[in-house]
Structure 1
Amino acid sequence: MARIQEEKVTEKLNLGIWKKLFKYLSEFKKGLLFLAFLMTIVAGIDSIMPLLTRYAIDNFVEKNTINNLKIFGLVYLLIVGIQAINVKIFIRQAGKIETHLAYHIRKMGFKRLQQLSFSYYDTSSVGWLMSRMTSDIARLSEVISWGLIDMVWAIVMMIGFLGIMLFNNVKLTLVSMSVIVPLFIIGLFFQKKILKAYRNVRKINSQLTSDFNEEVAGAKTTKTLVREDENLTEFKYDVDRMRHSSVKAGIFSALFLPIVISMGSIGTGLAIWFGGNEVLLKGISYGTYVMFISYTVQFFDPVSQLAGTIAEIQQAQASAERIISLVETEPEIWDKPDVINKYGDLFNAKKENWEDINGDIEFKNLYFSYKNGQKVFENFNLKVKKGETVALVGETGSGKSTIVNLLCRFYEPSSGEILIDGKDYRERSLLWLQSNIGYVLQSPHLFSGTIRENIRYGKLDATNEEIEAAAKMVNAHEFIMETEKGYDSEVGEGGGNLSTGQKQLISFARAIVGNPAVFVLDEATSSIDTETERVIQNAIEKILSDRTSFVVAHRLSTIVSADKILVIKNGSIDEAGTHSELIKKKGYYYRLYTNQLLQEKEMESENVS
């Protein structure tokens, strides 16, 4: 199984990460402030409850009277009622913010994924991305919404308790709070341990998500290679690592809160000891003594809550770092501001300013290298006239697919230009270019949904008539009508309900429905049978008529009618000409073509016998 590569993250609690994150969540500022205001009221009411207890003891118990007890009871009930309403409102508000936060962050992340260039997906696994968009975002939205509640409540409670205690008896307050300093030191120690442990848990979780994705996607391959036992062993290794790291992280978190509670109990014991002496010496009233014990006991509840919230924030910081990393990743290919201003961006097109593509294409003094340093082209030059069909042949890795990927601007030249109708295509928008190119891949990918919906992906506003016309043009209409529901038949996940040839025909219809000026076929017939290839070949001849087209060919029999055949070798054009011209040269193309022809005849004779 592939090992995913995690980016480096900070080694300690980083307020800058959270500050940056909240900038992206500015639209929730009012809701979060309202939530904080509600929790301030709740904490304030919680803070005065021991004062009411003191009043009751000093005025009713100590004086052995029930005068004004009804008024006190009504006031007490009123305060409790207000508190109940506050709690109901903040629970509803926090739940609403949690849901909307997750939606907003996922939408933001998904939008960025649509903008990122091909090179980003060359180095980022599906499992890594799925983990970011699901579990990381869920944890983050939970911590921001409910963690804010706990933190505000804890801080206001602690400030309220300390203020009231200091006002009533400074000496007893200092004695009770003497455990705060060692508690702070212990907190710093556990902060570092918990953050490190949970970051490791998140990293291994990403690997597990990647493993799941690979296993599900490659289930058939696993069966054919009989790799069930090996895959299980590899997966068990990751699961064991996850269990070990989770237990380690859980131990640190589990130890932290009991230590806080134990330190709080020591503070309470000191308050009971010294406070009891003060009562005996008549330094404080019995009601004040009970109030102090109550405050001391309750004081460490918000301390525990704050400690727990900090631990959760530490756990979630790894998620925050990864989300920020995704959202702030800049696409390598990006339209310039003046281009966006005129033509629009990927999501907001200004089609009224779009020029039509005539179809003249030129690769001029082109240099290109991949991010890993692999050089592909050096001073590559090629001119293609409107309506020409150019076939690209050559060994694997020679640069055939790179040519069409550069043409589609999935990658950009390191230097040099690609001119469309005489102008550098970087002076036009990405959406303008890619909306004018029909691209058919070697392995067609269909989305879950109906046949009609999949064809409509090529032009979202296509009418049913346009969809059917596109299907007829590529010879797909006949087999579509033979399915149970015709164009409304479900294709299944990844097109699993259709054969490879049928999926390819649907992908042809999807590519042609938008009536693109330029067509690209990247080994589009290499994975289908000969009979289906003839059907597709007839479709190709219709599609490519009067369109500038590039055909990356595996089966040379499909390109004999091409206007220009280029043999690409080590990033340069080794041979060029029509089929008949290259056959006469008796070079690489001749040897390749004759070998394929002999193989096909041998296969035909074997089938006959």
Structure 2
Amino acid sequence: MREDRLEHKARFDLKVWKGLWRFVSHYRWHLLGLVFVMTLVGLLEATFPYLTKYAIDNFIVRKSLEGFWKFVVLYFGLVVLQALNTYLLVYLAWRIENGFTYELRNGLFSKLVDMPPAFFDRNQTGALISRVMSDVQRISTIMSWQVVDFVWAFSTMVFIVFYMLKLNWRLALFVILAIPPLALVSNFFHVRILKRFRLVRKLVADITGLFNEHLMGAKTVKTLAIEGRLESEFGTKAEELKRTAVAAAALSALYTPVVVFIGNLVTALILVAGGIGVSKGTVTLGTVIAAISYSIQFFEPVQQLARILAEVISAQASAERIVELLNAPVEISDDANGLELEIEGNVEFDNVTFGYVEGQEVLKNFNLKVRKGERLAIVGETGAGKTTIVSLLARFYEPTAGRILIDGVDYRRIKLSALRRQIGFVLQTPHLFNDTVAENIRYGKPDAKMEEIITAAKFVNAHDFILKLENGYETVVGEGGSKLSTGQRQLIALARIVLLNPKILVLDEATSSVDPYTEHLIQDAIYKLLHGRTSFVIAHRLSTIRNADRIIVIEHGKIVEEGNHEQLMKLRGKYYTLYMKQFVYEKESEILGEYKT
């Protein structure tokens, strides 16, 4: 299992959140509207206790109804306005949350599409999925509903302090003096909560990756009968997550009682001081009741701020993971003045050096020239560098030294889209999308008409079997083409290449896992497909490359033999040894197969 290499920062960092601003900027007017509405909500909530004080001192204590009905109309009007504000805040928060989620997921997907294969070698698929789905959802909640709560809490606290100072500055001091210890408590808790929630998010990503890996390898798991071991492994990881999450939640939960304790203490002090003031006649009853109400009300938004802080702290890890993914360098990108070159097919590797890991070179000072239309076969033991050569050709990776020239032009000067559009890959295990047969063929050319799709299918001998499918060309092939055989998937992949009409073709033994009849169909399609195109054929079964214009034998990243089939057989060197071993093996398999039959 690959380790997720994107590291998290050690401290809470506001810059991380600023890095997400561009995804919410499209909704800045909604956000400003939300801030205004929530400020108004805070003002009204702070106003109601002041109105209560007015009612007690002017109607209850005086036992008078003078101005009472005007007061009732004003109070009712504020209640209606508050109800309208509640509707607006819910509407605006939902718009921001869903819009932000849409923008951010699109941004992340675009980023991942642009990343080279090396990035996916270093980062686990499940962990990346976790970022795009659960991390984004967590952050979008912060950017909408937590903004609602924060603005409400902050504005309510400010207006409460304002009204309390207006009522009685001495009683207001009890609340104001409680703010510094609350700040110290918050600082103490937030560092520790952040550390634990970072670990929780990492474990969630690990479990997502583990889950994805086991599902993708379900058949292998069954054939090896290792279900029990995997269940144990998953259970151990899940148990670790549970313990860490509980510990993080316990620390976060401890925060609120501390705030409540300070709030109750302040309320008790106001009650005592206010009661003394009433007995001395220096404070009105309405003022004391309003002050107590404000004290209780003040610490409710404080608790909300504590909760928001805990939420933001716990989401900090998610924000870091997302921003680091967004800021991850695209190691392979277009030149600023990239060329839309129409390729002819001449290829040259000029002193190319490359290694997947620094200091471990797969190719060193590698040189190779392939002429337009030449059929080149690449032979060698596993790990010799065959796949590396064609991966560099498609610019999935770039040489650490040297150049690769296409028609005499350094291929780094050619636009990636132009380069890859003109290089067709036929892989040993082709990938089909969970879509119809027609759409899978059309992926190479999105604007292709149905007539072109059928022509391409006929060219590769796929038309007949497609018509026999349940819905013909409109048959959905399943995830990865699971509803089709390996040979059928290969033929559809070949039809896709025909539609793409590339100038350079790369084949990674397309017939190694199919029955003899399908192999014949595929070989016939490939033979027609190779005509007139520069081709690189990675050969696993040497009997399939006898007609290649040139064969090179790779060993430890270097060409050790070169020539056509007859020339290399006469040398009786590496190629001869490989060919004879495979020839004997194939004959033995053929004889044993006939014997079993």
**Aligned residues, how many?**
595
User: Could you tell me which residue of structure 1 aligns to residue 81 of structure 2?
Assistant: 82
Cα displacement (A) at 1:166: 1.7
Q: 1:566 aligns with which of 552, 556, 574?
A: 552
Contact 1:177–1:267, Cα closer than 8 Å, also in 2: no
Cα displacement (A) at 1:12: 2.7
Q: 1:469 aligns with which of 452, 455, 463?
A: 455
**C-alpha distance in structure 2 between counterparts of 1:4 and 1:241, whole Å:** 17
TM alignment of 1:487-506, pairs within 5 A: 487-506=473-492
Is 1:112 equivalent to 2:98 in the alignment? no
Contact 1:389–1:562, Cα closer than 8 Å, also in 2: yes
Cα displacement (A) at 1:598: 1.7
Is 1:367 equivalent to 2:353 in the alignment? yes
**C-alpha distance in structure 2 between counterparts of 1:155 and 1:223, whole Å:** 57
**C-alpha distance in structure 1 between counterparts of 2:446 and 2:94, whole Å:** 36
User: Could you tell me which residue of structure 2 aligns to residue 351 of structure 1?
Assistant: none
Cα displacement (A) at 1:372: 4.1
**C-alpha distance in structure 2 between counterparts of 1:25 and 1:553, whole Å:** 51
The aligned amino acid for 2:182 is L
User: Could you tell me which residue of structure 1 aligns to residue 222 of structure 2?
Assistant: 223
| 1:64-111 Cα shifts (integer Å, max 9, x gaps) | 122221111111110110110011011011011101111110000000
**C-alpha distance in structure 2 between counterparts of 1:548 and 1:579, whole Å:** 18
TM alignment of 1:254-265, pairs within 5 A: 254-265=253-264
The aligned amino acid for 1:144 is M
User: Aligned pair in 2 of structure 1 residues 479, 588: CA closer, same or farther (>3 Å)?
Assistant: same
**C-alpha distance in structure 2 between counterparts of 1:85 and 1:167, whole Å:** 28
What SS does the aligned partner of 1:288 have? helix
Q: 1:480 aligns with which of 455, 459, 466?
A: 466
- Gapped regions of structure 1 (runs ≥ 5): 344-353
**C-alpha distance in structure 2 between counterparts of 1:306 and 1:230, whole Å:** 45
The aligned amino acid for 2:314 is Q
What SS does the aligned partner of 2:366 have? strand
Cα displacement (A) at 1:418: 1.2
The aligned amino acid for 2:264 is S
What SS does the aligned partner of 2:159 have? helix
User: Could you tell me which residue of structure 1 aligns to residue 194 of structure 2?
Assistant: 195
**C-alpha distance in structure 2 between counterparts of 1:357 and 1:46, whole Å:** 70
**C-alpha distance in structure 2 between counterparts of 1:533 and 1:554, whole Å:** 14
Contact 2:394–2:419, Cα closer than 8 Å, also in 1: yes
**C-alpha distance in structure 1 between counterparts of 2:360 and 2:459, whole Å:** 40
User: Could you tell me which residue of structure 1 aligns to residue 268 of structure 2?
Assistant: 269
Is 1:449 equivalent to 2:448 in the alignment? no
Q: 2:399 aligns with which of 413, 427, 430?
A: 413
The aligned amino acid for 1:438 is G
**C-alpha distance in structure 1 between counterparts of 2:359 and 2:418, whole Å:** 30
User: Aligned pair in 2 of structure 1 residues 113, 301: CA closer, same or farther (>3 Å)?
Assistant: same
The aligned amino acid for 1:300 is F
Q: 1:432 aligns with which of 407, 411, 418?
A: 418
What SS does the aligned partner of 1:393 have? strand
- Indicate the larger mover: 256-265 or 311-320: 256-265
User: Aligned pair in 2 of structure 1 residues 6, 186: CA closer, same or farther (>3 Å)?
Assistant: farther
- Indicate the larger mover: 132-141 or 356-365: 356-365
- Gapped regions of structure 2 (runs ≥ 5): none
**C-alpha distance in structure 1 between counterparts of 2:283 and 2:5, whole Å:** 60
TM alignment of 1:12-161, pairs within 5 A: 12-161=11-160
**C-alpha distance in structure 1 between counterparts of 2:452 and 2:341, whole Å:** 23
Cα displacement (A) at 1:149: 0.9
Contact 1:3–1:207, Cα closer than 8 Å, also in 2: no
Question: So what's the TM-score if we normalise by structure 2?
Answer: 0.98
The aligned amino acid for 2:236 is Y
The aligned amino acid for 2:200 is V
The aligned amino acid for 1:423 is V
| 1:303-353 Cα shifts (integer Å, max 9, x gaps) | 0111111111001110000000111111111112122xxx5xxxxxxxxxx
Cα displacement (A) at 1:359: 1.1
- Indicate the larger mover: 559-568 or 253-262: 253-262
The aligned amino acid for 2:486 is T
User: Aligned pair in 2 of structure 1 residues 408, 89: CA closer, same or farther (>3 Å)?
Assistant: same
**C-alpha distance in structure 1 between counterparts of 2:407 and 2:275, whole Å:** 94
Contact 1:566–1:574, Cα closer than 8 Å, also in 2: yes
Cα displacement (A) at 1:568: 0.6
User: Could you tell me which residue of structure 2 aligns to residue 347 of structure 1?
Assistant: none
| 1:113-165 Cα shifts (integer Å, max 9, x gaps) | 01111110110111110100010000000011111111111111111111121
What SS does the aligned partner of 1:8 have? coil
User: Aligned pair in 2 of structure 1 residues 176, 271: CA closer, same or farther (>3 Å)?
Assistant: farther
What SS does the aligned partner of 1:604 have? helix
What SS does the aligned partner of 1:338 have? coil
Q: 2:570 aligns with which of 570, 577, 584?
A: 584
User: Could you tell me which residue of structure 2 aligns to residue 350 of structure 1?
Assistant: none
Question: So what's the TM-score if we normalise by structure 1?
Answer: 0.96
The aligned amino acid for 1:595 is K
Is 1:534 equivalent to 2:526 in the alignment? no
**C-alpha distance in structure 1 between counterparts of 2:400 and 2:195, whole Å:** 40
What SS does the aligned partner of 1:190 have? helix
The aligned amino acid for 1:512 is V
| 1:189-227 Cα shifts (integer Å, max 9, x gaps) | 111121111111100000110111011111111110010
Cα displacement (A) at 1:24: 4.4
Contact 2:5–2:123, Cα closer than 8 Å, also in 1: no
The aligned amino acid for 1:28 is Y
The aligned amino acid for 2:446 is L
Q: 1:520 aligns with which of 506, 511, 514?
A: 506
What SS does the aligned partner of 2:430 have? coil
